[in-house]
């Protein structure tokens, strides 16, 4: 579409907002864009927000491509219409709603609640900010047919989102996601949204429910006696201004830990995230204040959760006594290895158990599962697919745990999304278990590397914003798909998996096989030296991600630094050849 044609289309969409039943402040903002900022006008209106891997997510502001009460209202009405059609056999339909600390989150949550009640739904609305996983638990506990959490997870402060859930407590997946968007698109303007609320249909959810949720987490403990012996474990925790501020300390105390230190500056609930550039525990800068506190008190372990408390970053002391952040693959390996070992040693593995990881997560988790003869599943990126496996296996098999490289983990079956509250509790237990053996959590990780393989992973995100950026990312994927390399870093590519075409090709004999997973825009290259390279445009952010995984043998802990450097050099060579 030519720029002139695009601009005319965008202006037509914007004028609908000027003429419709939008509030005066919104109309003034749209008029300002029309008069003074055509570039921003295009960004605000050139498309409608759609459901990605986490539902709606975008920058807050006016327009069809922004998060505001009207896009939230349309999404809510579309979801309500779809849910009513899917559950016509029920006399009453129920929905749970939660929100994080972000600017406008409470406004968006209350907007959604009013619209749901306008559609006759019974609404369970949390009284104030709560973690995303608690919303998942609430859906299952209250027997809801759907749920919504207002959050943009770890995105910068300009973002917010609308994440939709189904009756199993898992995020919306196909075909429901596309069908909901279809329902939204059928709504001919905001006048068809049922804005008028029935306040009698809103139930406030508060502290009593927090107790119920954290009690369930405590039941997952596999070594309460070890915690009792090591209750003096020094733990530093930061919510990075978000929803974990209350429940993480609460559950750690319930588990039996006594020395929990906070970071006062980051206990302040604030959607502007004043102490960090980005509230993402995957980034070192977000955990700097917590690490400083850890150094001050000589902490055994440091934890930081993102704003909606579904992801957690873990910091431990390495072999040199330096605090280092474990990546998501390392934390997942530590957690899964601990769970499987404890289940095995306690005689709880009966042949029906399984774990789940995403395709871009370390293959180390599968090596561990093989040792304990536990079934394993690979799924597409997004915890909703882990939840879907749990739904399919419910009542027949037992989910022990699962995780993804992007700092999300889960154990037990009462929550169906990644859970940083639960993860903090269990990872603290692993640290206590290691300490009971005279080891650190880092020692525990090195034990895993020695027993299995030393996996080294690295992630690069190439950011390309706006419409032009989306087109550039599309071109990059096309190049890799149509002209893949034959070798990378002098290692032959043995297999290419294209999840968009659902085909896996053996590059040695040319044979193709079908990938039995939903279609997704992901490419993977497997090399004959055991390396794995995954390329995936993000479903929630304007970026394309490159995941690198290499492996080697760690023959002794003394050789850790040498082996680590060798694997790191290997990754850098791959990056230089493939990305630079």
Both tokens of 441, joined, read 């959590």
Q: What are phi and psi of 146, to 5 degrees?
A: -155, 175
The 10s digit of each residue's pLDDT in 94-150 is 999 999 999 999 999 999 999 999 999 999 999 999 999 999 999 999 999 999 999
Catalytic residue among 105, 153, 362, 423: 153
Q: Which residues contact 227 (CB under 8 A, 6 or more apart)?
A: 221, 255, 256, 257, 429, 432
Annotated active-site residue 153? The verdict is yes
SS3 category, 539: coil
Q: What per-residue confidence (pLDDT) applies to 468?
A: 84
Q: What is the mean pLDDT of residues 3-15?
A: 90
Q: Please report the domains of the chain, with CATH numbers, ordered by start residue.
A: 74-205 (3.40.120.10), 212-220+230-451 (3.40.120.10), 456-578 (3.30.310)
Say how far apart CA 74 and CA 84 lie, in whole Å. Answer: 15
Q: What is the DSSP letter of 60?
A: B
Q: Above pLDDT 70, what percent of the chain?
A: 98
Q: What per-residue confidence (pLDDT) applies to 359?
A: 97
User: With 70 as the cut, is the pLDDT of residue 52 above it?
Assistant: no
Q: What is the DSSP letter of 395?
A: T
pLDDT band for 472, please (50, 70, 90 cuts): confident
User: With 90 as the cut, is the pLDDT of residue 556 above it?
Assistant: yes
Tell the burial category of 514 from Cβ atoms under 10 Å away from its Cβ (0-12, 13-18, 19+). Answer: exposed
Burial 345-369 (b: 16+ CB within 10 A, else e): eeeebeeebbbbbbbbbbbbbbbbb
Q: Which residues contact 306 (CB under 8 A, 6 or more apart)?
A: 153, 154, 240, 242, 279, 280, 281, 312, 407, 420
The 10s digit of each residue's pLDDT in 180-233 is 878 877 887 899 999 999 999 999 999 999 999 999 999 999 999 999 999 999
Give pTM, 2 decimals.
0.93
User: With 80 as the cut, is the pLDDT of residue 53 above it?
Assistant: no
**Beta strand extents in 93-155 (DSSP E only):** 94-99, 122-126, 146-150
Q: What are phi and psi of 555, to 5 degrees?
A: -85, -20
User: With 80 as the cut, is the pLDDT of residue 75 above it?
Assistant: yes
Q: Between residues 511 and 155, which one has the greater pLDDT? A: 511
**DSSP labels for 149-184?**
EE--TTS-TTEEEEEEEETTSSBP-TTHHHHHHHHH
Give yes or no for a contact between 436 and 392, defined as CB atoms under 8 angstroms apart: no
Q: What per-residue confidence (pLDDT) applies to 54?
A: 59
Both tokens of 70, joined, read 């009207």
Q: Between residues 244 and 177, which one has the greater pLDDT? A: 244
Say how far apart CA 144 and CA 174 lie, in whole Å. Answer: 19
Report H helices in 224-327.
224-229, 244-255, 288-297
Q: What per-residue confidence (pLDDT) applies to 1?
A: 44
């Amino acid at each position: 579409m030519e720029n002139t044609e695009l601009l005319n289309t965008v202006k037509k969409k914007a004028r609908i907002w000027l003429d419709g039943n939008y509030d005066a402040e919104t109309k003034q903002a749209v008029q300002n864009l029309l008069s003074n900022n055509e570039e921003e006008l295009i960004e605000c209106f050139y498309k409608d927000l759609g459901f990605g891997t986490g539902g709606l997510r975008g920058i807050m502001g006016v327009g069809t491509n922004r998060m505001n009460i009207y896009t939230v209202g349309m999404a809510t009405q579309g979801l309500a219409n779809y849910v009513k059609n899917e559950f016509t056999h029920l006399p009453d339909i129920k929905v749970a709603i939660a929100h994080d600390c972000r600017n406008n989150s409470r406004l968006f949550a209350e907007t959604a609640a009013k619209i749901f009640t306008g559609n006759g739904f019974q609404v369970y609305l949390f009284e104030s900010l709560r973690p995303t996983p608690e919303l998942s638990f609430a859906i299952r506990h209250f027997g809801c047919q759907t749920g919504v959490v207002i959050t943009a997870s770890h995105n910068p402060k300009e973002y917010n989102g609308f994440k939709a859930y189904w009756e199993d407590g898992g995020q919306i997946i196909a075909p429901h996601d596309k069908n909901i968007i279809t329902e939204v698109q059928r709504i001919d303007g905001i006048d068809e949204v049922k804005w008028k609320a029935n306040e009698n249909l809103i139930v406030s959810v508060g502290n009593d429910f927090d107790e119920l949720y954290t009690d369930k987490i405590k039941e997952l403990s596999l070594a309460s006696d070890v915690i009792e012996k090591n209750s003096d474990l020094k733990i530093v925790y930061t919510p990075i201004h978000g929803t974990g501020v209350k429940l993480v300390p609460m559950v750690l105390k319930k588990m039996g830990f006594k020395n929990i230190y906070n970071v006062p500056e980051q206990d302040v609930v604030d959607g502007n995230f004043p102490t960090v550039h980005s509230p993402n525990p995957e980034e070192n800068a977000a955990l700097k204040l917590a690490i400083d506190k850890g150094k001050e008190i000589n902490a055994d372990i440091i934890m930081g959760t993102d704003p909606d408390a579904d992801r957690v970053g873990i910091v431990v002391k390495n072999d040199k006594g330096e605090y280092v952040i474990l990546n998501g693959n390392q934390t997942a390996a530590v957690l899964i290895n601990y769970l499987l070992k404890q289940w095995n040693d306690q005689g709880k593995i009966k042949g029906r158990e399984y774990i789940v990881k995403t395709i871009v997560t370390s293959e180390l988790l599968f090596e561990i599962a093989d040792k304990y003869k536990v079934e394993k599943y690979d799924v597409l990126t997004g915890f909703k697919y882990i939840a879907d496996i749990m739904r399919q296996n419910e009542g027949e098999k037992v989910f022990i745990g699962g995780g993804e490289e992007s700092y999300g983990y889960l154990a037990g079956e009462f929550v169906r999304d990644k859970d940083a509250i639960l993860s903090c509790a269990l990872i603290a237990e692993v640290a206590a278990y290691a300490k009971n053996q005279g080891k650190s959590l880092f020692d525990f990780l090195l034990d895993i590397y020695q027993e299995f393989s030393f996996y080294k992973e690295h992630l690069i995100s190439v950011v390309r914003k706006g419409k032009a950026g989306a087109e550039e990312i599309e071109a990059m994927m096309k190049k890799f798909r149509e002209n893949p390399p034959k070798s990378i870093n002098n290692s032959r590519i043995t297999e290419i998996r294209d999840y968009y075409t659902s085909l896996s090709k053996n590059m040695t004999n040319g044979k193709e096989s079908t990938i039995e997973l939903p279609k997704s825009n992901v490419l993977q290259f497997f090399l004959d030296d055991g390396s794995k390279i995954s390329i995936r445009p993000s479903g929630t952010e304007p970026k394309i991600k490159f995941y690198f995984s290499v492996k080697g043998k760690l023959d002794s802990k003394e050789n850790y630094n040498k082996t680590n450097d060798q694997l790191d050099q290997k990754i850098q060579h791959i990056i230089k050849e493939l990305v630079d």
